[in-house]
Homo-oligomer: A and B are copies of this chain.
Amino acid sequence: MERIKCTLQYDGTFFAGFQVQPDKRTVQQVLEEALKKMHKGSFVRVTPSGRTDAGVHAVGQVVHFDTPLSIPEKNWLMAFQSLLPDDVFVDRVEKVADSFHARFDVKEKEYRYKIYTGEKPDIFRRHYSYHVSRPLHVEAMSEACTHLIGTHDFTSLSSAKSTVKGDKIRTIYEAELYEDGDEVIIRIKGSGFLYNMVRIIAGTLIEVGTGKREPGDFKHIIEGKDRSLAGKTAPPQGLYLWKVSYD
C-alpha cells in the first residue's frame, strides 16, 4: 500500500460541505466515488486536513488516502481530472510516508475571507464573496486584527454549538487585511481553528469596519470567553481554506 497526499481546490457553492452526509452532495463523496472507479469498485477512504462547511471554498485543501495502486503522480492527476466533476480540481499528488496524516500533522492553516465592498450587488461574485455595501473603515479593522495574534482561548470567537473536545486555545500567527480592487480580504494563519472561528472573526471585524464596535473591543471579547460577546457569523461564501502546511 502507498499513502498519497493530494492538494485540491473546490468551489463549495454546490456542496453540502466536505464531510459525507446521507443524500447530500459533498466533496468527500465525489472524491471517494472517483477513487472507487480507479480501484475497480473498492472503497477508498479519504481523510482531510479538516472539514469545511456548505458553501465554503478551498484553494489548498489537503487529503490523504491509501492505495494498492502504484502509478506515476501525473497519471493520478489525469485520472482525477477525468473522473471528478468540474467544481473540484486536484492540483497536486504526492507519495508520502505511511506515517503522514492530513489532519494530525497540520502545522499551519491559512484562511482568507473575501468581502466585496461595491455599492451595488455583483451577481458574478454572489457565491465567491460577502457583499457589504456600507463603507468599511479598513484601518480600524486592521488594528482589531492585531488583538487576534498570539495564543489565546478563542471560546468567544467560535461556535457555542461546537462539540469539539479539548480546550479552545489556539495560536494565531498572522491576521491582516489587504485590499484588492473593490474587495477587502482578511488573511489569517494559525496552528488550527475552531468551528466557525474564521467566520465569527470576519463578522466581528466587519462590525468594527462599520463603526458598530471599536478595534480595542477584540481584546475584551477574547478575554470574556463568551460567544455572545462577539459579532455575527459571516456567511460561508466569502470563506476560503487557502493553504494547509506540514513539516
The yes or no answer to A11 lying at the interface (CB within 8 A) is yes
What distance in Å separates the Cβ of A93 from its nearest Cβ neighbour in chain B? Answer: 14
Are the CB atoms of B91 and A124 closer together than 8 Å?
Answer: no
- Size class of A's contact patch? 10 to 19
Q: How far is the CA of A123 from the CA of B91 in the complex (A)?
A: 11
Q: Is A167 an interface residue (CB 8 A)?
A: no
The answer to whether B11 and A86 have CB atoms under 8 Å apart is: no
Residue of B nearest to A240 (CB): B124
How many monomers of this protein are in the complex? Answer: 2
Residue A44 lies at the interface, judged by CB distance under 8 Å to chain B: no
A124: chain B residues within 8 A (beta carbon): 9, 11, 57, 128
**Contacts of A123 on B, CB cut-off 8 Å?**
9-11, 86-89
Residue A165 lies at the interface, judged by CB distance under 8 Å to chain B: no
Q: Which residues of B contact A91 (CB under 8 A)?
A: 120
Q: Is A107 an interface residue (CB 8 A)?
A: no
Q: How far apart are A123's CB and chain B's nearest CB, in angstroms?
A: 5
A131 to chain B, nearest CB (A): 11
* Chain B nearest CB, measured from A25 CB (Å): 15
For the complex formed, measure the closest distance between the CB of A100 and the CB atoms of chain B, giving whole angstroms: 24
Give every chain B residue within 8 A of A86 (Cβ-Cβ).
123, 126
Residues of A1-57 whose CB lies within 8 A of B: 9-11, 57
